[in-house]
Structure 1
Amino acid sequence: MQGGKAPGIDGLPPEFYKTFWEELKTDIMDVFTESFGDCSLPQSCRRAVLTLLPKKGDLMDITNWRPVSLPCSDYKLLSKVLSSRLKKVMDPVIHRTQTHCVPGRSIVDNVSLVRYLLTVSGSLGLDAGLVSLDQEKAFDRVEHHYLWKVLGLSPGFIAKIKVMYENIESVLKINRGLCEPFKVTRGIRQGCSMLGMLYALSIEPMLHNVRSSINGLVLPGFDTPFTVSAYADDIIAFTKGQNDVDSLGHIVEAFQKISEAKVNWAKSDALAVGKWAGGLPQLPGGLAWQRGGLKYLGVYLGDQGTTAMNWEGVVGKVEGKLNKWRWLLPHMSYRGRVLIINNLVASSLWHKLKCMEPPAGLLKSIQSIILKFFWDDLHWTPQCVLYLPKEEGGQGLVDLVSRTAAFILQFVQRFLFGTDDVVWRPVASTILRGVAGLGLDASLFLVDCGFVPLCKLPHFYQGLFTAWRLFKWSRLGPAASLFWLLEEPLVWGARLDLHDGSRPGLTDRLTGAGVKKLGGIVEAAGPCLQNTEAVASLLGLRSARHTRTILNEWNNRLDSEEKEMLQDYSDGTEAPDSGDPFPDIFFFSTSC
């Protein structure tokens, strides 16, 4: 639990329990055990302080205030214990289209999926309708009786969660005072560590119904449709026609009746992609289709004009935040300046930088503003030294360009080595397969990125491969599986690329014949790469001797283990498995 705070009515911070844990642990355990036995918590656990946080809009309107429950530390301690147990079963229970509070999943997954679907749909000329649903007071409207019925956990564990919400009360904090306590019969407390997980479980029945009832968006080459993307109550449904829209409306209406949830159609959005020659579907709740793009999870997605809105006014906001502290600069240490820059200014950029590629020059402009604030116009140390950790003689100041490159490398790592439930990976693979028509997919990261034509890539991938070029990398060994051995590229500076100037036109012949991977050569030449005639015919080579030389060089670049895998493949004793992990690579900065 985060220290330094005492939000509840008893005024005891987490540090109190940490300091006196040896003296308190037996009594606390007895209290919690007795509470579960009696199905009732002590009053300090049941009662929370309710405070209101302002949102955007007219603050004279009560709907523009967000209620937040602040329970005592003992309640948070108990909910943390239950949360740690509940977390272990979230991944198998919650479908991969929901990413909120599920270990191993991220909000970036949702944004990436929507961004890629918009990119692929636009490039292929597909018709698609994206309906973004706004849940009104989502967490506060969860009906407890409904929640207990849909949890689907063991009766004993559900009973413990019920105790956490049995006879709970809130006291409203107004003008530094507390009102009389009142009963709370629905909603999930913000101070409860299980908040996000309980909500994800409560809305999963609706998402399951959406996935099974609408056709969704089907991309060429895919059997599984894309139907929905959810991060807690932020939901986007992918529709293909009027039947999908009608089904979505019926599902939402039924869910509202059984759960007391409410969709605010006035704040929902709908984006139409494609020509829709037969006309756009009719939307429920008076919702209207829009073109260009929409805002989802804090990021503008869509055409170039819409995505540019992500960076409008960013420089001014950074300057405004720093100017609020400028009057303190003469009395502020360098360490204090770093804390303000890193924690209050730069951190506000991280979400969008993880999801979108910034315009050229934007990060340098912001970095210049940051440096001026840090030095107060007098630069005493080279910038590269400032970015070093303090123990290495630096100040630990954030370097925006390097941090953005790190975000991109994290994205690549998740694409190459992430779990099977990364929802956007198939769509990203479709985009990569279209690079220069090579169909290389993930094996594109095994070639020399200097050959990759960036101008033909979406803007985000241009930044991705630009950052990838900042590093040298090497393989930690030969192909570890038959699948990735057959996926070994034969072009663009890869391990098996023979384009060294002595064989002009070989790359063109390979791409012209549609053979860009070792698997294509093995299919023609056999596992020992000996069928000279077949390869010569495939590549349009007239010289058998020249063809034999090429095959020998490919064969010489394979080690004995790889040759054995190819032989087993030919004999039928081994088959490629697309689920095999990507080959291990080691990369290091080009400055080394």
Structure 2
Amino acid sequence: MDVFKLGVLNINGARDLRKRQSVYETATLKKIDVLFLQETHSDFNIEAEWRREWRGEAILSHLTPLSGGVGLLFSRAFNPNSLEVQHCVQGRLLLVKAQFHHFKLVFINIYAPTAGAERKQFFLKLSEVVSGCGSEDYLFVGGDFNCTEDATLDRNHAEPHPASQHVLKQLVHSQGVVDVWRRMHPDCRQYTWSHCRESRVSSARLDRIYCFKHHVNVFRRCDILPVGFTDHCLLLSSIFIRDVRPRSAYWHFNSVLTFDRSFREALMFFWQGFRQRKGDFSSLRQWWDHGKTQIKLLCQQHTLNVTSDITRSMKDLETEIVELEHLSESTGNRGDFENLKRKKMALADLLNVKVQGALVRSRYQTITGMDAPSSFFFSLEKKAGQGRVIHALLSDTGEEITEPGQIRRTAVGFYSSLYGSEFKEEQELLEGFLRGLPRVSEETNTELEACLDMQELRAALQAMPTGRSPGIDGLTAKFYKAFWDILGTDVLDVHNECLASGSLPVSCRRAVLTLLPKKGNLQDIKNWRPVSLLCVDYKLLSKVLASRLGRAMEQVIHRDQTNCVPGRSMVDNIHLIRDVLEVSSSLDIDAGQISVDQEKAFDRVEHSFLWRVMESFGFSAGFIAKIQVLYRDIESVLKINGSLCAPFRVCRGVRQGCALSGMLDALSLEPLLSKLCSSLQGLLLPGFSESMILSAYADDLIVFIRNQGDVDILVNIIKDFNVASAARVSWGKSEALAVGRWHGGLPVLPQNLTWRREGLKYLGIYVGKEHFVQKNWETVMEKVEAKLSKWRWLLPKMSLRGRVLVLNNLVSSQLWHRLTSADPPPGLLAQIQRKMIDFFWDGLHWVPQGVLFLDREEGGQGLVHLASRTATFRLQFLQRYLAGPADLVWRGVASCILRRANKLGLDNVLFLTDPKFLNLKGLPPFYQSLFKCWALFSRRRCLKADSLHWLLKEPLIHGSRLDISGASTPGLTGRLIQSGTLTVGSLLGMQSIRVSQGLLEKWRSALTPRDRSLLRRYSQGELSPDAEDPFPEVLLSLELGDLSGPLLKTTQPERLSLHKADKKIFYRNCVKSIHKGGLSNRPPTVWSQRPGQAGPAPGPQWRILYKPPFEKTDWRPPVEDFTRCHRLQCFYLCPQPCCFKHMPLLPSERDYLSRFY
């Protein structure tokens, strides 16, 4: 769409929410894209309200809260590349430059002074500003001029200040601008402002729009329309400039209709009738597609009907008001004046019908959305520019393409070629990769082949997030959730027919392909990531099948691949690579790592190859057929710069956006990984029985290299795999890292790939030498400050809960991926924490930080504490190391590093000792922090375990349960370390001499009867240790010393153990352990005792807060009063009657003021 609407309106002040809502509704009803506002009476505090309430961009310039002020409102559909703002005269002259790719729009909004002398100087300043605009720019000067050019046509009385009128005429002549409305209505007399005083009406056309004379042809219309909530009229113009306002690519369901009872009734009535017409169609799929089209038309018609009556009435009233204005001016009849007033009041009342509904929705959204991690709340973040607009592309010859049509053709050509099949079956090569692959069990195949049922579909729908872009049918997940009781059985029937017939409805086969920018030159089409927007009914089916397939992935995917396999994590790969580099460097082992870059891995998965791979994994033909249905005869429609292109066939690739895509990609890549594992020597570390060959997360693959032979084999296998599967590896984007001396010379790499020595970036984390690892933290502080700056505009109006949401979900979350696997520089987290706390309070700090970090249920605000969260990550690492899956890929390397602690040669059993006895200097910083976090808690062994394996590994030193060192055994620990007698197993078979006999008796007495029984049976050969036994359970509690207090109670003590605790329990207890000094003996509420009273108080008295109201008076405290009470953390209800008892706001005996925030 190339037409946009520009409006000018003096609103006579809008500090009231209802007045502002009237402005928003007027802009919405009139479909205004750019609205010039005068007399906003705004200030910096109210500016936050404007920007929060208006769904587009709001730019304000303030004068005083009682006068002046100008602003520009841009609709959401008006999306320039950038906006440049200049406050030329504060509160009176605002300039905004909207930059598009080929041109620039310059908007100048003015509110001229009412005093003639000031107005004269103001017009001189305006002339200076206009002269600075380029003649090629599209200039729009609009606003309230408080002056006219021609008093005979534009006033019904004389011009009050001819001098300023003269300056205005000079400005118009010298700058070559023209009055748009007057150009289109050369002899018409109509006014934009009227003022009735007694029996006299003063009228003038004060509000105008000017543009350059050579651009006046871009205006299609310019009209003066009455408005009921101000004494000025709306000046509305339609402007035609190509490529300014792109229309929405396709229809989206309006989620407001889910709350509309009449729409539900209409949908139910329609669907009941439509359900009877299934026999009119050739298939259930065709019937379903037609039904979705009819639902779209029903939604559009219902929305149109709701607003058409009000819109028609408003247009009739506007016409009558214009006629009455002409009549009252010509006759001067007082009756006409009164009739004009009544009509304006009727127009205002009609608008209020819309305003009232908008206010209710606004208040509901403010209450529910401002204090919850909702899409509405996070959309308030200030964003700059257009992230998804392609302004230019490079052709195959390197020529820059800027014409929109050529851009679309180039992009469609690229993706048509990308998704075109190149698969040519090479039987011998293919068999070489598919031979020997693991197979799924028959029981699993039986589960995979089962028919769909309603419970699976309903579970898939409930797990589907709302707020995502819909597919080409426009129906969202919110629509299906709201009306599932009407459509659910039909969705199940359609899916069952699709699986039986082997084909989906057309709408499900066709995806909208949207492009997301990646790093690099965005003129290269390869630096745009395609994501398929799929219909929700398609995603329901794929989600059900993905849930089934997920249960089989562990049976066929090797542990080296961690993507899309339950129980595995991307962090496992990072831990492995980091620790392998650490061990290789410390032991001076020659080791090479090659990070293989697979070009467009998701998009190059050949469907025919995928089906062969699934057959080789033993998946049944029935289940493979279900997956094939999702990929048979599929098409994509490219969405580029807001427009849809012609559909093209998709013959390969998995759809990013489909729940199955990650699993299917992992399955297609597994033959390559299996072949590499069986062919390469890989890296064999000292003490390891098996070599490490590779580490993979989806298509991010690192291969371990031992010698030149490994490099040659790798190159040949990848070459063969490219032929067999039509995949492609980009050696130019691959990386290689060498550790060790390599006295015989480094292996030769393919295609000019070179070895690095410092480190590499893997899965978003820098690993390697210490100074290289510090690159993880180089820009963190700048990113945190940038994120905070995007929210400072809203800070004055943001609740404390809203500030916590920003800090926890948007600011601190930038650190989590780094903190899981790397230790930050000293002081960095404390510095960031200070920034966060300053943002939270925005002034005085009323509550100690230790309280602030507590959960709201405990009287805090739930603000994240970065050090405690880091400690939680370390404890989760330790939990996974000690009690995680048996095939954990990095456990062996981690044990190798831990054995360096104190040079004891102990690994996991070190965590059965007291960390304070350990010398951690020989460990990397990450592992040092591991023991420091473990020391935050007191540890107690659960002796119910029955494991000979762990009894034999039980340590004898450093505070373990069998440590008998003390005053009676001086130097015992040193002698045990020197002799290597460190565990129970090393004691067995010791020759009994006089000195050792006494020690053995002490150790024997420290053992439980069950321990002695296990050792006796072991010595007699009746029992053997089982290495698969789980690590002993360790019960944790807060390490408090002499400190105590109600805020230091252990959170969920029954679950605070090595095996049972989750991250939330770890975190909440870490907060208390780290801040135990500040929380000690602190009451949970400052109201628990009255000031000046010794001993415990019976409870607060309401009379100390307020005078009791009159009986039967409906009184409730305004929330604003509580938001000022920053000191109050929580309060109790008192036993005596008070007016609060009838308030639904206070549902329990104890409540917190965080509810008010």
TM-score under structure 1 length normalisation: 0.95
Q: CA deviation at 1:84?
A: 0.5
Aligned equivalents of 1:547, 1:133: Cα separation in 2: 58
- Is 2:577 the partner of 1:114? yes
Matched with 1:75 is 538
Q: 1:478 to 1:30 in 2, by over 3 A?
A: closer
Q: Which residue identity is paired with 1:573?
A: E
Matched with 2:715 is 249
Of 865, 875, 887, which residue of structure 2 is paired with 1:421? Answer: 887
Of 1001, 1015, 1027, which residue of structure 2 is paired with 1:566? Answer: 1015
- Is 2:987 the partner of 1:521? yes
Matches within 5 A, 1:99-498: 99-151=562-614, 152=617, 153-477=619-943, 480-498=946-964
- Farther off after superposition, 218-227 or 386-395: 386-395
Q: Which residue identity is paired with 2:508?
A: C
Q: Which residue identity is paired with 1:28?
A: V
Of 994, 1005, 1009, which residue of structure 2 is paired with 1:556? Answer: 1005
Aligned equivalents of 1:478, 1:26: Cα separation in 2: 52
Q: CA deviation at 1:177?
A: 2.1
Q: CA deviation at 1:390?
A: 2.3
Q: Which residue identity is paired with 2:561?
A: Q
Q: Any idea what SS the aligned residue of 2:633 has? A: coil
Of 959, 977, 985, which residue of structure 2 is paired with 1:511? Answer: 977
Aligned equivalents of 1:252, 1:175: Cα separation in 2: 37
Aligned equivalents of 1:516, 1:344: Cα separation in 2: 48
Q: Which residue identity is paired with 2:572?
A: D
Aligned equivalents of 1:61, 1:565: Cα separation in 2: 69
- Farther off after superposition, 198-207 or 178-187: 178-187
Aligned equivalents of 1:170, 1:307: Cα separation in 2: 42
Matched with 2:992 is 532
Matched with 1:38 is 501
Q: 1:396 to 1:340 in 2, by over 3 A?
A: same
Aligned equivalents of 1:95, 1:184: Cα separation in 2: 30
Q: Given that residues 469 and 533 in structure 2 are in contact (C-alpha distance below 8 angstroms), is that contact kept between their aligned partners in structure 1?
A: no
- Which deviations, in whole Å up to 9, do the C-alpha atoms of 1:35-60 show, x marking residues without a partner? 11111001121111111111112211
Q: Given that residues 311 and 358 in structure 1 are in contact (C-alpha distance below 8 angstroms), is that contact kept between their aligned partners in structure 2?
A: yes
Matched with 1:578 is 1027
Q: CA deviation at 1:23?
A: 2.8
Matched with 2:481 is 18
- Farther off after superposition, 237-246 or 351-360: 351-360
Q: Given that residues 478 and 559 in structure 1 are in contact (C-alpha distance below 8 angstroms), is that contact kept between their aligned partners in structure 2?
A: no
Q: 1:472 to 1:125 in 2, by over 3 A?
A: same
Q: Which residue identity is paired with 1:323?
A: S
- Farther off after superposition, 7-16 or 353-362: 7-16
* Segments of 4+ moved more than 4 angstroms: none
- Which deviations, in whole Å up to 9, do the C-alpha atoms of 1:479-501 show, x marking residues without a partner? 52001000010111111111122
Aligned equivalents of 2:661, 2:989: Cα separation in 1: 54
Using the aligned pairs only, state the percent identity: 57
Q: CA deviation at 1:225?
A: 0.3
Q: Which residue identity is paired with 1:574?
A: L
Q: CA deviation at 1:79?
A: 0.4
Aligned equivalents of 2:861, 2:511: Cα separation in 1: 41
Q: CA deviation at 1:519?
A: 0.5
Aligned equivalents of 1:439, 1:43: Cα separation in 2: 64
- Is 2:557 the partner of 1:94? yes
Aligned equivalents of 2:482, 2:521: Cα separation in 1: 44
Aligned equivalents of 1:3, 1:478: Cα separation in 2: 47
Q: Given that residues 45 and 75 in structure 1 are in contact (C-alpha distance below 8 angstroms), is that contact kept between their aligned partners in structure 2?
A: yes
Of 470, 474, 480, which residue of structure 2 is paired with 1:7? Answer: 470
- Which deviations, in whole Å up to 9, do the C-alpha atoms of 1:528-562 show, x marking residues without a partner? xxx522xxxxxxxxxx1x43221111001111111
Q: Which residue identity is paired with 2:501?
A: D
Aligned equivalents of 2:499, 2:635: Cα separation in 1: 18
Matched with 2:517 is 54
Q: CA deviation at 1:17?
A: 2.0
- Which deviations, in whole Å up to 9, do the C-alpha atoms of 1:400-423 show, x marking residues without a partner? 110110111000000000111100
Matched with 2:1118 is none
5+ residue gaps in structure 1? 525-530, 534-543
Q: Any idea what SS the aligned residue of 1:507 has? A: helix
Q: CA deviation at 1:478?
A: 5.5
Q: Given that residues 902 and 920 in structure 2 are in contact (C-alpha distance below 8 angstroms), is that contact kept between their aligned partners in structure 1?
A: no
| Structure of greater Rg | 2
Q: Any idea what SS the aligned residue of 1:220 has? A: coil
- Which deviations, in whole Å up to 9, do the C-alpha atoms of 1:234-276 show, x marking residues without a partner? 0000000000000010111111112121111111100000000
Q: Any idea what SS the aligned residue of 1:456 has? A: coil
Q: Any idea what SS the aligned residue of 1:229 has? A: strand
TM-score under structure 2 length normalisation: 0.49
Q: CA deviation at 1:311?
A: 0.8
Aligned equivalents of 1:421, 1:375: Cα separation in 2: 47
Q: Given that residues 485 and 518 in structure 1 are in contact (C-alpha distance below 8 angstroms), is that contact kept between their aligned partners in structure 2?
A: yes
Q: CA deviation at 1:523?
A: 3.1
Q: Which residue identity is paired with 2:641?
A: N
- Farther off after superposition, 236-245 or 509-518: 509-518
Q: Which residue identity is paired with 1:171?
A: V
Q: Which residue identity is paired with 1:292?
A: E
Q: Which residue identity is paired with 1:577?
A: D
- Which deviations, in whole Å up to 9, do the C-alpha atoms of 1:501-537 show, x marking residues without a partner? 221111111111111001101232xxxxxx522xxxx
Q: Given that residues 596 and 701 in structure 2 are in contact (C-alpha distance below 8 angstroms), is that contact kept between their aligned partners in structure 1?
A: yes
Q: Given that residues 607 and 651 in structure 2 are in contact (C-alpha distance below 8 angstroms), is that contact kept between their aligned partners in structure 1?
A: yes
Aligned length: 575
Aligned equivalents of 1:365, 1:94: Cα separation in 2: 43
Q: Given that residues 147 and 202 in structure 1 are in contact (C-alpha distance below 8 angstroms), is that contact kept between their aligned partners in structure 2?
A: yes
Aligned equivalents of 1:578, 1:359: Cα separation in 2: 38
Aligned equivalents of 1:133, 1:453: Cα separation in 2: 39
Q: Which residue identity is paired with 2:749?
A: L
Q: Any idea what SS the aligned residue of 1:57 has? A: coil
Q: 1:492 to 1:478 in 2, by over 3 A?
A: farther
- Farther off after superposition, 172-181 or 122-131: 172-181
Aligned equivalents of 1:481, 1:392: Cα separation in 2: 40
Matched with 2:423 is none
Q: Which residue identity is paired with 2:556?
A: V
5+ residue gaps in structure 2? 1-463, 1041-1047, 1049-1157
Q: Any idea what SS the aligned residue of 2:703 has? A: strand
Q: Which residue identity is paired with 2:560?
A: T
Aligned equivalents of 2:752, 2:729: Cα separation in 1: 12
Q: CA deviation at 1:353?
A: 0.5
Q: Which residue identity is paired with 2:987?
A: I
Aligned equivalents of 1:90, 1:410: Cα separation in 2: 24
Q: Any idea what SS the aligned residue of 1:493 has? A: coil
Q: Given that residues 6 and 12 in structure 1 are in contact (C-alpha distance below 8 angstroms), is that contact kept between their aligned partners in structure 2?
A: no
Aligned-residue Cα RMSD (Å) equals 1.2
Aligned equivalents of 1:508, 1:473: Cα separation in 2: 24
